[in-house]
């Protein structure tokens, strides 16, 4: 090991044998962790391997573990059979609804943070909307969308996803804005900043991490959402989860192609995983006032 980490003060006074035992136990823990992790991620690893297997290798029993003749053809074929459209549609719907959530949510969050008590009724009402399982409103949405000709439209799905994510976005941003000392705003008022400059010069930069977090979460939820897409869209709008499900269940599936689509669907999330665990740990931790 090239990195030197200064040992805890208490350790230096321990006898050599105990230090050795402590080191050994750490090594054992790491080994256990790696094994558990490997087993834990097996299903996803299998998905990854499947995506690189040519058609002939998919249907062998017992299956080959590593692809013998690894291929990338599944990715291009997966794209061609509808994965491409799925990615496009998912991106369109997720990003537009995320932007809408932030645009509608930020002012509301600011008002909530500065004018209402932290755990007040209004906040709870907003958040309880988020707790509702999607199966409850979906029938109402279906009937409404039939009436308004929003069935199977991008607009319709964007509206629903915005509705789905807005409560959480408002809440997260409000919590974040609450942590920004009011002094900064007062300083800006004293400095003579009009309200739009107050937001632009002071509040937005200071809440950028919060905006990013809320935006990422809204994006992930919209990207992964299935039930609304299943019920509220038909042939015209096909998001990635819907594409995957319908190809798998209703067409002659080529698992390799579907695996490739699945991998593409989860790849962006893998990148965000590290960021997410930090965010989650922090948001569930007590007394983590600092940003």
Partner 1 sequence: MASVTLSGINKWYGGAVHAVRDISFKIEDGEFFGLLGPSGSGKTSVLRMLAGLERPTSGTISFDGTSVEAKTPQERNVAMVFEQNALYPHMSARQNISYPLKIRGLTKAEIETKVAEVASLLNIGHLIDRRASQMSGGQQQRVAIARALVRRPNLLCLDEPIAHLDTLLRARLRGELKRLQRALGTTSVIVTHDPIEAMTMTDRIAVMRDGLMQQIGTADEIYMRPVNAFVAQFFGLHSMNVFTVGNVRDAPELSGQCGAQPVMLPDCVKPHVGAQSRSVLVGSRPGGVSVYKAGEAPRRGAALSLSGRVYVAEQLGDAILVTVQAGDATIQAMTSPDYRFAIDEPVDVVIREDALYVFDDENQRTLRFASGASVSQTDRLATYA
Partner 2 sequence: MNTIAVQGAALPPATRNRDTAAERRATLFLLGPAMTFLALLSIWPFAYLIYASFTSYQLAIPIPIEWVGIDNFTRMMSNPRFWRSLGITVIFALVAVPLQIVAGLGMALLLNGVTRGREVYASLFLIPMMVAPIVVGFSWNLFLNPIYGPLNSFLKAIGLNPPAWAQSPEWALPTLVVVDTWQWTPFVMIVLLAGLNSIPQRVYEAARVDGSTRWQTFVNIVLPMLFPYMMVAFVLRFIDSFRVFDIIYILTRGGPGTATQNLAYYTYDMGFGRFEFSIAGALSIIQLVLLTVGTMAILGFAKRRDKGPISDAPLPPTVFNAAAQSAMGAKP
134 binds, among partner 1, partner 2, none (CB under 5 to 8 A by kind): partner 2
> Token pair for residue 139?
């029938």
* Residue 136 near partner 1 by CB under 8 A: no
* Residue 184 near partner 1 by CB under 8 A: yes
Task: Find the shortest distance in angstroms from Cβ 224 to partner 2.
Answer: 4
206 binds, among partner 1, partner 2, none (CB under 5 to 8 A by kind): partner 1
Helix, strand, coil shares, percent, the chain, to 5? 75, 0, 25
Residues 102/146, Cβ–Cβ less than 8 Å: no
Tokens 């600011």 map to which residue? 110
Say what angle helices 154-178 and 121-131 make with each other, to 10 degrees. 140
> Token pair for residue 42?
């097996």
Tokens 């038909």 map to which residue? 234
* Residue 127 near partner 1 by CB under 8 A: no
| Peptide linkage before 62 cis (omega within 30 of 0) | yes
Stretch that binds partner 1, among 1-9, 181-189, 223-231, 259-267 (CB under 8 A): 181-189
Closer CB to partner 1, 203 or 232, in the complex: 203
* Residue 178 near partner 1 by CB under 8 A: no
* Residue 209 near partner 1 by CB under 8 A: no
Binder of partner 1 out of 47, 154, 201, 230 (CB under 8 A): 201
Say what angle helices 16-40 and 42-51 make with each other, to 10 degrees. 50
DSSP string, 177-194: HHTS-HHHHHHHHHHT--
- Between CA 95 and CA 165 the distance in angstroms is 12
* Residue 99 near partner 1 by CB under 8 A: no
192 binds, among partner 1, partner 2, none (CB under 5 to 8 A by kind): partner 1
Residues 142/232, Cβ–Cβ less than 8 Å: yes
Closer CB to partner 1, 190 or 271, in the complex: 190
181 binds, among partner 2, partner 1, none (CB under 5 to 8 A by kind): partner 1
* Residue 116 near partner 1 by CB under 8 A: no
Binder of partner 1 out of 23, 64, 186, 282 (CB under 8 A): 186
- Pairs from 10-16 (Cβ < 8 Å, separation ≥ 24): none
Closer CB to partner 1, 204 or 248, in the complex: 204
* Residue 197 near partner 1 by CB under 8 A: yes
For binding to partner 1 (CB under 8 A), which residues are involved?
Answer: 181, 183-184, 186-193, 197, 201-202, 205-206
């Amino acid at each position: 090991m090239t990195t030197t980490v200064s040992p805890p003060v208490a350790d230096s006074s321990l006898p050599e044998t105990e230090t050795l035992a402590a080191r050994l136990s750490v090594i054992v823990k790491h080994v256990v962790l790696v094994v558990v992790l490997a087993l834990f991620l097996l299903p996803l690893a299998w998905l990854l391997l499947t995506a690189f297997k040519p058609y002939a290798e998919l249907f062998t029993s017992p299956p080959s573990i590593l692809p013998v003749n690894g291929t990338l053809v599944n990715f291009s074929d997966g794209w061609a059979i509808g994965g491409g459209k799925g990615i496009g549609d998912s991106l369109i719907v997720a990003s537009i609804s995320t932007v809408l959530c932030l645009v509608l949510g930020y002012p509301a969050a600011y008002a909530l943070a500065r004018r209402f008590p932290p755990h007040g009724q209004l906040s709870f009402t907003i958040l309880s909307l988020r707790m509702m399982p999607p199966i409850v409103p979906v029938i109402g949405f279906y009937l409404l969308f039939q009436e308004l000709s929003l069935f199977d439209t991008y607009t319709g799905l964007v509206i629903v996803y915005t509705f789905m994510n807005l409560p959480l976005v408002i809440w997260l941003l409000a919590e974040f804005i609450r942590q920004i000392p009011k002094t900064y705003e007062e300083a800006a008022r004293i400095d003579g900043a009009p309200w739009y400059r107050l937001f632009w010069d002071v509040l937005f930069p200071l809440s950028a991490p919060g905006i990013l977090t809320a935006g990422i979460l809204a994006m992930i939820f919209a990207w992964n959402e299935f039930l609304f897409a299943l019920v509220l869209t038909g042939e015209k709008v096909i998001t990635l989860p819907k594409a995957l499900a319908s190809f798998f269940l209703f067409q002659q599936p080529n698992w390799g192609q579907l695996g490739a689509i699945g991998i593409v669907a989860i790849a962006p999330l893998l990148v965000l995983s590290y960021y997410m665990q930090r965010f989650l740990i922090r948001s569930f931790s007590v007394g983590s006032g600092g940003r």
